[in-house]
Amino acid sequence: MYSGNRVMDCNTTDEIGPSPAFLYTCNGLKPTCPSFLVFRTQPQYNTVLTISKLLSLDHGSLARINNIIDYNKILPLNKELIIPVNCSCVGEYYQANTSFVIPTIYDTYFTIANLTYQGLTTCSSLMRNNIYGQYDLHPGQMLQVPLRCACPTVSQTAVGARYLLTYLITWKDSIKKISKRFKVSSQDLALANGFSSVDENDIYPFTTFLVPLSNEPISSMTRTLGHKQNLSKKWIMIGTMTGSFLAILCGFSMGYFLWRRNRSTRGKTAIKSALPEDIQLGIASVDQSFKIYRFEELEQASDGFSLENKLSSSVYKGGLKAKTVAIKQMGSNAKKEVKILKKFNHFNLIGLYGVCEHDRSCFLVYEFMENGSLKEWLEDKTLTSQESQSWTNRIRVGLDVAKGLQYLHNFASPAYVHKDINSSNILLSKDLRAKISNFGFARSTEKDQNGNSSIKCSLESKGYHPPEYVESGTVTTKTDVYAFGVVLLELITGKKAVYNDDDGVEVMLSENVISCMSDEEHAKDKVNSLIDPRLHARHPVGFIIDHSELALRLVRLAVACLEPEPSRRLSMNEIVSTLMMFQMDTQTSETTMYTV
């Protein structure tokens, strides 16, 4: 039975019976059998030796079935390998067994299942098979990892199936395409995964499919995602990815070192929560300098706060020592914002350079964001086609915001709730990198602070508040998660959080989308009508590129952030991990689509 997106939920239960969201059910003819998985190379696991260690395999067997001679040869990124395993029933589920030593403090059950093991195990099954709590993971701990496998059923054996291969679905996959690739009957493939028809293609990337095979799989069945016949383009892509990985690794090392130093000076002995491995990449590699400016400096920098430099009612553009800055005049809440921002130094939070007090006013000096607010950017009808038609840009903006919130909720000490997330408070650089701004309403999540708030947020926040805040003023990190869900919908639809329809009636974007998604049978068609028209990009040969599957998954992610019950909303850790997977696959997809 196909699991669908339930494998992404770390709180799945099987109290009423076995669930494919854990592993595959023991319903085969035999309790144990040889089986196969498909694994795709990634930067840390790109040789026969490293992959065989990760999956507890004999490296000789792995090399032979994939026709590889050199065990140490670095394989192309995203190259599929066939993984032979021994599959056995353990309780109600089939599994192949391996183990994994947690390398960093940022690993979670979710990231280990979906990033390291690429969906070949699940968050729920990892939690069940290990003694450590969800927030008690630490470097050096060894986890038992059950891998998804299965043995053929009686009916599958009767039609000649001797093996089942666990295949990781990617974009554009369908039952017919998978069956053609592995040379199996479409009907047999559909039935093996609980579908009654070969035309049912409600399948999702990063989930697994069982492929019934009459013979052992061979290396010619595998492929390298994003592989091009043009060698120069191929090596450009590989070089770019390799360079990015090295930059990430360097950022990780420096970020981790600074975090350790900061933690020791504060005398902390434990972190609040296990975080995904990429979180430290946003932490700046040098201490942020903070300056007390003289009013005359700011006056000169902004040409006397001239109209030409006025960006909004209280913000001016200025130049200080060849550096462009934004100068914001503030009132009584300026001290709170300064106090908060001085604690933080993260790529996705707006940088505060300094402050100036003059004539009972306070002027804050920020880094300058060339593309203004996300709200302005989405409303700008003069955007170039490359900017407006790129799903990669939209997802990257969403991921930047998610990483900023992830830092505030889990990595800042103490943790903070921003409380005023909206598209006006998300600023974009010239490279369309997003940073969260306006911390005037932010509050700590420490236990001695009241969970309710009487402070009303800005008018810009209408349409972003969750039910518990509207009803009782309750503020938690899930307040930000709800608001992020609305921002994600703005990125997908290009519409405001609150807008007027054709009849002039005020509409809440979140309510409209949730209503559309309630009809699961026609959800895909309705999502197509919601997509920002600028995202209906054309291929160079003329046809409109179909991004409905991507849009549907993004909308479902947003709706998961908008759950009425706070405890049912996703965490920012889960959101970041999911968006990272979307981003990686979308970049590959767009590169392939635009290559003629």
Angle at alpha carbon of residue 334, lines to 328 and 336, rounded to 5°: 140
Angle at alpha carbon of residue 167, lines to 581 and 161, rounded to 5°: 170
DSSP annotation of 287:
P
Of the pLDDT bands very low, low, confident and very high (cuts 50, 70, 90), residue 446 is confident
| 420 given a catalytic annotation | yes
Residues 281 and 248: beta-carbon distance below 8 Å? yes
User: Which of residues 39 and 504 earns the better pLDDT score?
Assistant: 39
CA atoms within 13 A on the CB side of 258: 20
The 10s digit of each residue's pLDDT in 15-38 is 777 887 788 889 888 889 999 999
* Residues 91, 117 within the same domain: yes
Q: Which of 19-23, 111-115, 292-296, 315-319 has the lowest mean pLDDT?
A: 19-23
- Other Cβ atoms within 10 Å of 352 Cβ, number: 23
Say yes or no to pLDDT of 310 above 50. yes
User: Which of residues 450 and 321 earns the better pLDDT score?
Assistant: 321
What number is the average pLDDT over the span 427-449? 85
Residues 389 and 423: beta-carbon distance below 8 Å? no
Amino acid in the structure at residue 121: T
Q: Give me the pLDDT at residue 275, please.
A: 32
- Residue matched to tokens 């696991």: 45
Q: How many structural domains are present in the chain?
A: 4
Say yes or no to pLDDT of 151 above 90. yes
* Residues 461, 579 within the same domain: yes
Q: Which of 115-129, 236-250, 352-366, 534-548 has the lowest mean pLDDT?
A: 236-250
DSSP annotation of 409:
I
- Other Cβ atoms within 10 Å of 186 Cβ, number: 18
Q: Give me the pLDDT at residue 595, please.
A: 46
* Residues 195, 59 within the same domain: yes
Q: Which of 27-31, 152-156, 168-172, 311-315 has the lowest mean pLDDT?
A: 168-172
Amino acid in the structure at residue 214: S
* Residues 558, 500 within the same domain: yes
- Residue matched to tokens 């498909």: 38
Q: Which of 164-178, 189-203, 446-460, 556-570 has the lowest mean pLDDT?
A: 446-460
Q: Which of 123-127, 248-252, 370-374, 567-571 has the lowest mean pLDDT?
A: 248-252
Say yes or no to pLDDT of 435 above 50. yes
* Residues 348, 418 within the same domain: no
* Residues 249, 294 within the same domain: no
Residues 6+ apart with CB under 8 A from 102: 112, 137, 138, 139, 140, 141, 142, 143
| Given the residues 278, 400, 420, 480, the one annotated as active site | 420
Q: Is 473 exposed, middle or buried (0-12, 13-18, 19+ CB in 10 A)?
A: middle
Calpha distance 131→116 (Å, rounded): 20
User: Which of residues 275 and 126 earns the better pLDDT score?
Assistant: 126
Q: Which of 62-71, 258-267, 327-336, 366-375 has the lowest mean pLDDT?
A: 258-267
What number is the average pLDDT over the span 433-441? 92
User: Which of residues 265 and 453 earns the better pLDDT score?
Assistant: 453
Q: Is 139 exposed, middle or buried (0-12, 13-18, 19+ CB in 10 A)?
A: exposed
Average per-residue pLDDT for the chain: 81
The 10s digit of each residue's pLDDT in 451-475 is 555 445 555 678 999 999 989 889 9
DSSP-based three-state secondary structure for 5: helix
Six-digit token string for 33: 């059998």
* Residues 42, 158 within the same domain: yes
* Residues 313, 358 within the same domain: yes
Range of the domain at 17: 4-221
* Residues 252, 182 within the same domain: no
**Crossing angle of the two packed helices 509-517 and 477-493, in degrees rounded to 10:** 80
Six-digit token string for 499: 């807008």
* Residues 32, 105 within the same domain: yes
* Residues 569, 496 within the same domain: yes
DSSP annotation of 114:
I
Residues 317 and 302: beta-carbon distance below 8 Å? yes
Q: Give me the pLDDT at residue 256, please.
A: 44
Residues 356 and 292: beta-carbon distance below 8 Å? yes
Six-digit token string for 434: 């997003």
The 10s digit of each residue's pLDDT in 89-116 is 988 899 999 999 998 877 888 889 988 9
Q: Give me the pLDDT at residue 203, please.
A: 79
> Which of 521, 512, 337 has the alpha carbon at shortest distance from 419?
337
In this structure, the dihedral spanned by the alpha carbons of residues 556, 557, 563 and 568, taken in order and rounded to 10 degrees, is: 120
Domain end among 320, 350, 367: 367
Domain end among 316, 349, 367: 367
Calpha distance 210→199 (Å, rounded): 17
Of the pLDDT bands very low, low, confident and very high (cuts 50, 70, 90), residue 247 is very low
**Crossing angle of the two packed helices 572-593 and 391-406, in degrees rounded to 10:** 160
Verify cis geometry, omega within 30 degrees of 0, for the bond prior to 540: no
The length of the chain is: 596
Amino acid in the structure at residue 199: D
Q: Give me the pLDDT at residue 485, please.
A: 96
* Residues 214, 248 within the same domain: no
CATH number at residue 284: 3.30.200.20
Of the pLDDT bands very low, low, confident and very high (cuts 50, 70, 90), residue 546 is low
